[in-house]
């Protein structure tokens, strides 16, 4: 079980660690919070409503992710699945194949996005160089609002939630039934999911701040200071 936890934590921090290599101080929403590219309207503190898809497109404009994220979203339709062990005290340990099938059912859309963006290969190994290049192509003013610390805290919380869930506890309880290689595969999938969810959540928050400070506030100021007002 300790091997599973340590492997999971190490691989889960790879995305947040890659940020510092690009910015020196820090860098990253779907997951427990934000919905990147959501069709729902976003409302900032000033009451301005902007369609989520439009908001995301504006923040990705001019970056390598502008086209890549749009294509990934089309290639990876969102689905909702849930997985629960058969019984709270079930003594039956799932096989490795059963675990990977359930993970695919529950997190398949996120995994598809990771692979479509090129941030993970078919075996969920992180493709850090591609991720770093995509992040570096974002507007510098946007990146200023995306910190490595925020992503790392988010990843830590999500990994902890996953490992403390009934499913995670079942895998840990049955960990002696799996090889080190099989546990490493499960850890890569879970950490990849957590990393991508945290990227999207942190990006969404930074995007709203970027649009507000770069476009909304200057526009409001220009209207207030316009002649005859």
Cβ 189 vs Cβ 124: under 8 Å: yes
Cβ 199 vs Cβ 16: under 8 Å: no
pLDDT value at position 38?
45
pLDDT single digits (tens) 123-156: 889 899 999 899 999 999 999 988 888 888 998 8
Q: Report phi then psi at 50, rounded to 5.
A: -130, 130
* pLDDT range class, residue 32, cuts 50, 70, 90: very low
pLDDT single digits (tens) 163-208: 888 888 888 889 999 999 999 998 888 888 899 999 999 999 999 9
Paired strand residues for 126: 120
Query: For the chain, how big is the Rg over CA atoms in Å?
Result: 20
* pLDDT range class, residue 41, cuts 50, 70, 90: very low
Rounded-to-integer distance, Cα 52 and Cα 42, Å: 6
Collect all residues with Cβ–Cβ distance below 8 Å to 18 and sequence separation of at least 6: 27, 128, 131, 132, 135
Rounded-to-integer distance, Cα 224 and Cα 127, Å: 48
* This model's pTM is above 0.85: no
Matching residue, tokens 């960990």: 175
Half-sphere exposure (Cβ direction) of 36: Cα atoms closer than 13 Å: 29
């Amino acid at each position: 079980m300790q091997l599973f936890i340590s492997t999971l934590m190490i691989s889960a921090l790879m995305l947040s660690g890659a940020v510092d290599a690009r910015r020196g101080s820090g860098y990253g929403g779907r997951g427990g919070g934000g919905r990147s590219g959501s069709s729902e309207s976003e409302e900032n503190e000033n009451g301005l409503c902007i369609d989520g898809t439009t908001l995301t497109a504006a923040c990705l404009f001019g970056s390598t992710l502008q086209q890549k994220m749009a294509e990934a979203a089309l290639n990876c339709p969102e689905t909702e699945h849930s997985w629960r062990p058969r019984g709270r005290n079930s003594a039956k340990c799932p096989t490795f194949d059963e675990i990977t099938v359930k993970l695919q059912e529950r997190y398949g859309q996120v995994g598809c996005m990771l692979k479509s963006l090129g941030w993970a290969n078919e075996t969920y190994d992180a493709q850090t160089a591609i991720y770093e290049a995509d992040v570096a192509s974002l507007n510098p003013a946007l990146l200023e609002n995306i910190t490595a610390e925020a992503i790392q805290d988010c990843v830590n919380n999500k990994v902890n939630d996953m490992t403390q869930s009934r499913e995670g506890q079942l895998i840990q309880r049955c960990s002696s039934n799996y090889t080190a290689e099989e546990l490493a595969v499960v850890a890569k999938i879970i950490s990849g999911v957590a990393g991508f969810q945290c990227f999207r959540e942190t990006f969404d928050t930074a995007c709203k701040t970027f649009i507000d400070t770069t476009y909304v506030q200057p526009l409001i100021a220009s209207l207030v200071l316009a002649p005859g007002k």
